[in-house]
Amino acid sequence: QEIGETGGGLRRGGSLVAKDARHVLHPWADLSALGGQGSLMVCEAQGVEVMDSAGRKYLDAIGGMWCVTVGYGRPELIDAMQAQARRMPYFTPFADVANEPAAELAALLAELSPGDLNRVHFTTCGSTAVESAVRIAHLYFASRGRPAKRHVLSRVNAYHGSTYLAASLSGKEADRTRFHYETEWVHHLENPGFDPDDAPLSASERLGQLIDGMEAAIADIGPENIACFIAEPVLASGGVLIPPPGYHQATRELCRRHDILYISDEVVTGFGRVGHFFASEAKFGIVPDMVVTAKGLTSGYQPLGAVLISDHIAGTLTESADPAKPVFSNGFTYSGHPVACATAIANIDVMQREDICGHVRDVGPYFVERLRELRNSPLVSAVRGDHLMACVECQVPGETGPTARNQALAGRVDAYCEKAGLLVRPFENLCIMSPPLVITKDEIDRIVAIMTESLARAEHDLRAGEIC
Ligand code: PMP
């Protein structure tokens, strides 16, 4: 059954596509179009490709959703999932009950993580890891007798998840709909993105501005009221926004000076996407107080998140526990799920044996360089990237920002890509790309060829007055 011609081509799939359209409320669905058009029903996947229910194959330039890092169909991960499900699929992780894969994985993460981040609190996904990290920051200061320190600094254009607090920490104006958001103790600093192609200031001038702004915000709120600063090393969903050199160290230093915990949200940048298991220390030279991870931790094969916590914080929580109520009252039924943890162990093993991070450091610059050629199209206003995370910004010449027409234009580019067998991720007027880390240079060439052709076709449509 054909559901209809969408922007992305024919979406077929029989009764299941109809069931989906009738009954599923998709994350981030367009409410005005709910149930109106069929979705792309993805059924099979192998390597860097997925296949829809009509048998059409697509090169997955989204990496599932920033998360499928070692590629699809990996027997090592599938075998680990199966074996653990047979041996012991689930038991409570609460209080003094442990499971083997969670213990093994925690020790592995302690080895891979920066500095003294040796204590792991498992969660179910990125959002719950972000929430947990902030709660741990609150508990840490309460334990030190400083409960007033509860305000949180985030940044404009950040994305930290979709639970209530994580959504409040996120700073993308376009995402703010009629939901409620915490505003009393959540503050957004300026978007720190710096694009040398398009900057009135030098990198060091911009850095100075950003740090002055952060210092002013800290003075305004009062350091005695601030618990933590949460930051993606490279802002991902906000449009692959890369801060100027020195930003990470300078913000780290400000936090240290004002006794503010630094939480690095490495949900996207962790597990190889920018060439290292964790970007904070290896790439940006800082050791945060906590690191949040998810996505690539299991290559997306299982839902899992984790907060990596410094020995100092964990020690403070222990030593200063409330004698009347010493319970760490945070955690989820599926925290440290054994099947998910077994998958993560197999995933880390594959990444190490195949030196996936080394591969990313090899092909990543090629990916960004090749994508930058797309700036030859008059429809591309910017291309930003760091290894295998990149963003192609589309706009009608002369029309800046995520206007309705620019969004329609990016949607058209995306639709042509889909027709040609390439999935990119349109968000507003941005095509955000994060392919599986095992992608080859030939496959990168294919992405660039399809994007080039799709931009040319969209340009033709624009000239024909078809995009309004
Ligand atoms: N932090 C960052 C940086 C993210 O990109 C995301 C998800 N895209 C999250 C947190 C939330 O993760 P999840 O969707 O697994 O809850």
User: 309-340 b/e with 16+ CB inside 10 Å = b?
Assistant: bbeebbebbeeeeeeeeeeeeebbebbbbbbb
- Give the Å distance between the CA of 294 and the centre of ligand 1: 8
Does residue 394 sit in the same domain as residue 437? Answer: yes
pLDDT in tens, 176-191: 999 999 999 999 999 9
Q: Is residue 468 situated within a structural domain? A: no
**Cα–Cα distance for residue pair 273/351, rounded to 1 Å:** 12
ipTM: 0.99
Query: Is 93 domain-assigned?
Result: yes
Cα 173 from chain centre? 17
Structure letter (DSSP) for residue 72? B
**Bridging pattern class, strands 261-265 and 117-123:** unpaired
> What value does the mean pLDDT of the chain take?
94
Q: What is the atom index within ligand 1 of the atom nearest the CA of 66?
A: 8
Residue 153 CA: distances (Å) to CA of 183, 346, 348, 415: 11, 35, 32, 37
Residues 382 and 339 in one domain: no
pLDDT-derived band at 286 (thresholds 50, 70, 90) equals very high
CA of 52 to the centre of ligand 1 (A): 25
Q: Using the predicted structure, report yes or no on whether residue 146 has a pLDDT greater than 50.
A: yes
**Distance, CA 144 to ligand 1 centroid (Å)?**
30
- Is residue 402 domain-resident? yes
Per-residue pLDDT averaged across 440-448, rounded? 98
Q: Which residues contact 101 (CB under 8 A, 6 or more apart)?
A: 84, 336, 338, 339, 341, 342, 344, 345
Q: Could you tell me the distance, in angstroms and rounded to a whole number, from the CA of residue 172 to the centre of ligand 1? A: 13
Whether residue 383 sits in one domain with residue 283 = no
Please state the pTM of the whole predicted model: 0.96
d(CA 294, CA 126): 5
User: Which residue has the CA at smallest separation from atom 13 of ligand 1?
Assistant: 126
What is the percent of the chain with per-residue pLDDT over 90, rounded to a whole number? 89
Residue 138 located in a structural domain: yes
Side-chain-facing half-sphere of 1: CA atoms under 13 Å = 11
pLDDT digits (tens, 9 = 90+) for 101-129: 999 999 999 999 999 999 999 999 999 99
Whether 135 is in a domain gets the answer yes
**Looking at residue 185, what is its pLDDT?**
98
335 CB less than 6 Å from ligand 1?
no
Higher pLDDT, 292 or 30: 292
The range of the structural domain enclosing residue 397 comes to 40-70+355-463
Q: Is residue 11 assigned to a domain?
A: no
Number of residues assigned to the chain: 468
Say how far apart CA 392 and CA 42 lie, in whole Å: 24
In short, whether 276's Cβ falls inside 6 Å of ligand 1 is no
Q: How confident is the model at residue 38 (pLDDT cuts 50, 70, 90)?
A: confident
The reply to whether 320 and 200 lie within a common domain is yes
Q: Is 330 part of any domain?
A: yes
Amino acid 8: pLDDT: 39
Please state the domain count of the chain: 2
For residue 29, tell me if it sits in a domain. Answer: no
